[in-house]
Amino acid sequence: MKRFAFAVLMFASGAALANSACDVPKNDFDGLYCLNKVFQEADKDLNDNYKQLAGQLDAKGKQSLKSGQLAWISSRNKSCSKREGNDFYVNLECATNTTIKRVQFLQDRVRECSSAGCQNSKL
């Protein structure tokens, strides 16, 4: 059975601390819990925006979006996680910030589709 360890290199992000329950984490596990909550919300936003954008694209655009998303996932995973033996480490703040940037990218593409038409070359 593989063991999973989560390493948070930066203890607390501003977004995580905005939640009053996370204002003053008592220990690293409380901090991890708070950071995970922020990551989960960013991941939900990512999925929602991806679906919204995909719904506005033609077949070629959907394929470009999917290819870009898979490349982004690979890049995020390489940048924000690592394996050491049987252990797997995730820099949760890195993953959260990277996900938030991707959400912003997808939101920009949704706005473009709504205002000027979808530009597959930007996917």
pLDDT digits (tens, 9 = 90+) for 55-105: 999 999 999 999 999 999 999 999 999 999 999 999 999 999 999 999 999
Secondary structure letter of residue 60 according to DSSP: H
Instruction: Give strand pairing partners of 84.
Output: 87
The confidence band for 24, taking pLDDT boundaries of 50, 70 and 90, is confident
- Strand stretches in the chain, DSSP E: 81-84, 87-90
Fold type of domain 14-122: Substrate Binding Domain Of Dnak; Chain:A; Domain 2 (1.20.1270)
Indicate the domain borders of the chain.
14-122
Closest CA to 57 of 123, 107, 115: 123
Cα(11)–Cα(34) distance, rounded to whole angstroms?
A: 10
